[in-house]
Amino acid sequence: MPLLLENNLKKVYEASRLLGVSREKARKNFLLILARMLESDYDAILRANARDCKKMDSHDPMLDRLRLTREQIQSMARDVRSIAAIQDVIHETIEKRVLKNGLKISKIRVPIGVIAVIYESRPNVTIDVAVLCVKSGNAAVLKGGRESSESNRVLARIIQKSLVKAGLPKDCILYIDAKDRDTVRQVLAMDKYIDIVIPRGGRGLIDFVRMNARMPSIETGAGVCHAYIDKGSDVNIAVSIVHNAKTQRPSVCNALDTLVIHKDIAKKFLSLFCKVFKNSNVEVRADAQSFCILKLYNYKQLKKASKKDFGTEFLSLKMSIKIVGSINEAIKHINTCGSGHSEAIISNNTKSIQRFFSEIDAACVYANASTRFTDGSVFGLGGEIGISTQKLHARGPMGTNELTTYKWVIEGDGQVRE
């Protein structure tokens, strides 16, 4: 297996060189062909996905990430077309200057090269990664989770057929169909052929990649998201935002995990919270103060919070609640327990909002809006390869710009340095 894997990665590396200098028209054509094939082959995709779903426990919250519908496949095709329409970023001049000696210096955007993405559950990631990588001139190595293997195999075949039809190297995209961690370790040792690795999944996967990768990695996916309800907030707006952030799609990384409430508004807010959430089937892990209030209002799915309930990404209809005495305490708690993903404040106080924006250490900070908006498509990027929770080299939703690096191009006419 190691020799076969190395040979395959070498082909990807060689294909990346060709892709990096390919014409924009060919890369755009690939995306348009892929969109058509997704729509025409949706029956095969749904059959494969049904086999994957059948293997998963019906009560597993990850089933929501795994399951595909015809509407979702059509949405995937629309997203592919949206990315095709984005202006090409390769060879864009980022900045330029002329020195006193006449040297012309330009900073030019170029592809990273070969990007490996290791991900769990969501088969749509297979399409997202392939599309964004090829659009930005990068080859990609894909390693999906075993739970979505049937879906990913079909999608990988469609991607490679689309590449061939567009006149691009089939080896631009390699899908690794293996179920063991040893194969992942081998991939992570191939820094000769892979320029960067991006894990998309839970904390266990991210830690495994960070500890084993010989090439640089970008952490994405893990989202411990908070909403802070400031004193004097409009409780109707606050409850509406919290309900959306928690229940609209609880299994995704930008869903709400912990609600932080100022003590001066806690009773008023939580009384309305109980009315709005009573039929939402949300289990609340409450600190001592919020537990007493929620019990007073007869909230049914109520448990006392343990220390580990703060800083946990639930990915399900569970959340924790903490009451604080000041915005200082709220900011400290969020910066301590958050993962650097998405954090929100609900407030009418401009100074509180500006403090939150300034002092919260996260990729995305919101005022009076749901954290569910953290998404590459929503942000106008066409899509995302992941949401980076670190500070180098990208942060937040990663679109085509974030999948590039740059080189300095210097033009002279005989200058020498003295």
Q: What percent of the chain has pLDDT over 90?
A: 86
**pLDDT, mean over the chain:** 95
Dist CA 34 CA 40 (whole Å):
10
Residue 222 has pLDDT above 80, yes or no: no
Pairing of strands 342-346, 283-286: unpaired
Please list, in sequence order, all residues whose beta carbon lies within 8 angstroms of the beta carbon of residue 89, skipping any fewer than 6 positions away.
109, 136, 400, 401, 404
Query: In 228-339, where does DSSP find H-type helix?
Result: 235-247, 266-277, 288-296, 327-337
pLDDT value at position 120? 81
State pTM to two decimals: 0.90
Number of CB atoms found within 10 A of residue 56's CB: 15
pLDDT value at position 394? 92
Q: Assign domain 2-220+385-411 to its CATH superfamily.
A: Aldehyde Dehydrogenase; Chain A, domain 1 (3.40.605.10)
Query: In 190-257, where does DSSP find H-type helix?
Result: 203-212, 235-247
Q: Between vectors from CA 247 to CA 245 and to CA 253, what angle results, nearest 5°?
A: 60
Mean pLDDT, range 343-348, rounded to an integer: 98
At residue 53 the predicted structure's pLDDT band, cuts being 50, 70 and 90, is: very high
Pairing of strands 342-346, 387-388: unpaired
Helix (H) or strand (E) holding 141: strand 139-143
Dist CA 235 CA 241 (whole Å):
10
Residue 1 has pLDDT above 60, yes or no: no
Helix 24-40 / helix 70-85 crossing angle, nearest 10 deg: 170
Residue 179 has pLDDT above 80, yes or no: no
pLDDT value at position 204? 86
Dist CA 20 CA 135 (whole Å):
10
At residue 307 the predicted structure's pLDDT band, cuts being 50, 70 and 90, is: very high
Residue 230 has pLDDT above 90, yes or no: yes
Q: What is the CATH number of domain 225-373?
A: 3.40.309.10
250-292 residue pLDDT tens: 988 999 999 999 999 999 999 999 999 999 999 999 999 999 9
pLDDT value at position 221? 67
Instruction: Answer for the pair 24, 109: CB distance below 8 angstroms, yes or no.
Output: no
Q: Which of 201, 236, 245 is nearest to 219 (CA)?
A: 201
Instruction: Answer for the pair 319, 296: CB distance below 8 angstroms, yes or no.
Output: no
What are the residue boundaries of the structural domains of the chain, listed by start? Answer: 2-220+385-411, 225-373
